[in-house]
Amino acid sequence: MATRPTPVRTRHAAEVFGGHIRTWRKLHELTVEQLADRVGVNRATISRLERGDGGVSLDVVLTTLNALGQLDRVVDAADPYGTVFGRARSQQILPQRVRN
């Protein structure tokens, strides 16, 4: 099965996100090695994440965010009910009640 190319905007977002991870690590005064130990991965995996490698697993990304104290912020940012659009659409399409 052929893989589709990653869109440019997605690659750019991964690079920016990786840079944010690097900045949080430095603000916590952690080396790549120290963060890798906290996350339970090798140094190369953290380096890949900080470079914006989209192949790093979601589990590693979330565990890294947790180690840096940012997990709740990222999870909250993805909450559809935290947006006007999400709240409006939920009123339109989600059932008011569920029957057995």
Does the residue 98 lie in any domain? no
Nearest to 94 by CA among 76, 78, 79, 81: 81
Does the residue 82 lie in any domain? yes
Does the residue 53 lie in any domain? yes
Does the residue 18 lie in any domain? yes
At residue 96, the pLDDT reads 65
Does the residue 100 lie in any domain? no
For residue 44, give the CATH number of its domain. 1.10.260.40
Does the residue 3 lie in any domain? no
Report the range of poorest mean pLDDT among 24-28, 32-36, 81-85, 92-96: 92-96
Structural domain total, the chain: 1
Q: Could you report the per-residue pLDDT of 41-94, keeping only the tens digit for each?
A: 999 999 999 999 999 999 999 999 999 999 999 999 999 999 999 988 887 876
Domain of residue 62: give its range.
8-93
pTM: 0.84
At residue 98, the pLDDT reads 64
Question: What is the rounded distance in angstroms from the CA atom of residue 56 to the CA atom of residue 1?
Answer: 20
Higher pLDDT among residues 98 and 86, named by residue: 86
